[in-house]
Structure 1
C-alpha cells in the first residue's frame, strides 16, 4: 500500500514537472515568434494602438516608411533626445538608470532606452508593476539579440506616437507638417523628438515655449554628437 502511494506521488511529481516544462517551453517559443520575425516583417499594429482604438472606437493605421526613406535629421534627433548611447548599449543604459534612481525621479523615461520603449509600444500595457517590468526586460533582451540596431530604430520611428492618435513618422510628417518623412527638416525633427515624453499634451505642429526650448536643446545635442554621422554605422 505504501509503495503504491509513493509510486503515485512520484508519478504526480513527474507529471507536474512535465507540465511546467511544457508551459515554459511554449511561452519561450511564443516570445521568439513575437520578436524574431520583426527582423524581416513590419508590425501592422501595437498594443498601445489597439488599446487606443478600443478606448476611442476609431481606426488607427500605420503608414510604414523604410529607414532609408526617412530624412536623416529625424533618427539622430530621436537618439539625441531619447537615448544617446543607443548605438553601443545592449538594450539597457544602467548609468542613466542609476542616476535617475539616485536623484529620486518619479519618471525614469530618460533612463529608458529606445529598445525598451519599442518593447513597451509593441507588447505591453501602461503601468509599473513588477510583472510588466520583468516582461519589458525579457523582451528587450530578445529584441537586442534578434534585431540589428538600425532595424530597432526603424520600427520605433514607425510605431511611436507623435500626436494624439498619430503613430509613426509616416503619418506624423504628413499630418503635422504636410510633407513626407523624407523631407523632415532638422527643426521639425527636433520638434517631433521634443514631444515624445507626452505627445498627447505637447504639440510639434503648434509648439509651446517649452517645446521650442526643448527642441533647441535637442538640436544642440545633435551637434555635440557630431550630427547624422553619429548613426552612420547602424
Structure 2
C-alpha cells in the first residue's frame, strides 16, 4: 500500500511538472507574439503541405503553389479594413472580453435545428486564438485549447494587437493569408489603399474564403459585401474604431 502511495505521489508530481511546463511555454508563446509577427501558422503549414505538386524542369517535382503572407502593422492598413472585419464578424469586439455568450447561444440553437446550415458564434479573439496557436480541425480538446488561448490573449494583448493579428493571419483565399496579400492579389494595390467597398468585400468572404472569391465575386459575395457596408455605416464609420487606431 505504501508503494502505491509513493508511486501515486510521484505520478502526481510529474503531472504537475508537465502542466506547469505547458503553461509557462504557452504563456511565453503568447507574450512573444505580443510584439513579434508569427513566421507562419499551423493552417499555413497545412495548406503548404497539401499543395499540389507537379514536374518542373529536368523532371524534378516542385510545388504547384505558394503561401502568400505579408504581415503589416495596423498603421499600414486602411482603417476601413478593421472596421469591415468588425462589421462582418464581431460587432461587439471592442466591448467583450473574448467571448460573446449570446452569439454562442444563438449558434447552438440554430445548429440544433434540423436542416439548418451549421453556423459559428466565435469572436474575433477566438478566431485569432484558433488561427495563430492551434491546428486545423474540430474536437472538444481543440475547443478547450481555443478558449484557453482566447483568455490569454485577452489578458496579455491589447484589442489593437488582436485585430492586427487577425487581419494578417486570416485566410482570404486559397493559400492567401492576411489583408496585404489579399489586396495585392485581388486589387493589385497595398492594403493601405483599399476602399470601403474593397474592404467590405474581403470581410464578406471570410466565413468561407475558398468558396466566395473576392477576385470574381458572385451574387452571394456581393450580397455579403452590401450587408457589411450597411453595418459599417450603422456603427458610425471609422470613428467607431478610433480606440484601436490610436492605441
Bin for the TM-score computed over the shorter chain: over 0.9
Change in 2 beyond 3 A, CA 1:96/1:74: same
Q: Is the counterpart of residue 12 in structure 1 residue 7 in structure 2?
A: yes
Unaligned runs of 5+ in 2: 52-62
Deviation at 1:214, TM superposition (A): 0.9
**Which residue in 2 is equivalent to 1:98?**
105
Distance 2:154 2:100 in 1: 13
Deviation at 1:103, TM superposition (A): 2.5
Deviation at 1:61, TM superposition (A): 4.5
Residue among 69, 74, 96 paired with 1:67: 74
Unaligned runs of 5+ in 1: none
Q: Is the counterpart of residue 185 in structure 1 residue 195 in structure 2?
A: yes
Residue among 73, 84, 90 paired with 2:91: 84
**Pairwise CA RMSD:** 1.3
Residue among 114, 118, 128 paired with 2:124: 114
Distance 2:222 2:7 in 1: 65
Count matched residues.
228
Contact 2:110 2:119 in 1 (8 A): no
**Which residue in 2 is equivalent to 1:194?**
204
**Which residue in 2 is equivalent to 1:41?**
36
Distance 1:13 1:102 in 2: 44
The runs of at least 4 consecutive aligned structure 1 residues that moved more than 4 Å come to: none
